[in-house]
C-alpha cells in the first residue's frame, strides 16, 4: 500500500528545526518533522497536525517545495519498517513560537527537538572540513539536503538510484 506523508522544513535565524531520534541499533539521528496523512485529512491538515504533535507548534504558512517517493527496502533503515512505500510532500513552513517547543505526541524513538545550524548541516552533508559536530541523517534526507541547500532544483528520488526491487 502506498501512503502519503508530509514533511516540514522550518528555518529561523540560520537554523533548521529537526526531530532528534534514537534507536539502539542506529544511535542518534535527525529527521524532518512530519508523518502520514490520515483518512479524510488534506495534506495541509496532516502537516498542521504532525507539527502540533511532534513539535508543539502552529504553522502560520506553508509552501510545497518538493514531492518525492520513498520505498523503504531500498534504504539503509529498511529493518525498521520493511514494507513502507510513501509519497513525501515536503513543505517550507513558517511558525510562530509562543512558548517552548514540546512534543504533544512524540514519534517512536523521538528523544528531542533541535534547532541545528544550517552551516553545520551543510558541512555534514557535503562532508566538509571544520565540523563542529557531524550530524547523522537518513540517506534520503542527506541527499535531499544536498540538493535543497545547493539551491538547485530538487529532483525526485528515482528507483534507478537505489537499485530495482528484489
Q: Is the dihedral of CA 91, 96, 100, 104 positive or negative?
A: negative
Q: What is the pTM of this model?
A: 0.81
Domains of the chain: residue spans and CATH: 2-114 (3.90.79.10)
C-alpha cell at 54: 511532534
Report the alpha-carbon distance of residue 15 to residue 114 in Å, rounded: 9
C-alpha cell at 152: 538547485
Would you write out the chain's pLDDT as a tens digit for each of its 166 residues?
788 999 999 999 999 999 999 888 878 999 999 999 999 999 999 999 999 999 988 999 999 998 988 776 655 555 555 677 889 999 999 987 755 777 766 677 889 999 999 998 988 888 877 666 678 888 778 888 888 888 665 655 444 444 444 4
Residues 6+ apart with CB under 8 A from 110: 19, 20, 21, 54, 103
Amino acid at each position: 500500500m502506498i501512503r502519503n506523508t508530509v514533511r516540514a522544513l522550518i528555518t529561523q535565524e540560520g537554523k533548521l528545526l529537526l526531530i532528534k531520534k534514537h534507536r539502539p541499533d542506529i544511535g542518534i539521528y535527525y529527521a524532518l518533522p512530519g508523518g502520514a496523512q490520515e483518512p479524510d485529512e488534506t495534506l495541509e491538515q496532516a502537516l498542521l497536525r504532525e507539527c502540533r504533535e511532534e513539535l508543539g507548534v502552529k504553522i502560520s504558512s506553508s509552501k510545497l517545495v518538493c514531492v518525492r517517493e520513498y520505498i523503504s527496502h531500498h534504504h539503509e533503515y529498511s529493518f525498521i519498517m520493511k514494507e513502507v512505500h510513501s509519497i513525501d510532500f515536503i513543505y517550507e513552513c513558517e511558525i510562530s513560537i509562543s512558548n517552548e517547543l514540546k512534543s504533544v505526541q512524540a514519534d517512536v524513538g523521538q528523544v528531542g527537538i533541535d534547532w541545528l545550524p544550517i552551516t553545520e548541516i551543510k558541512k555534514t552533508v557535503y562532508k566538509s572540513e571544520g565540523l563542529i559536530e557531524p550530524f547523522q541523517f537518513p540517506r534520503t534526507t542527506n541527499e535531499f539536503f544536498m540538493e535543497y541547500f545547493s539551491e538547485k532544483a530538487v529532483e525526485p528520488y528515482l528507483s534507478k538510484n537505489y537499485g530495482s526491487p528484489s
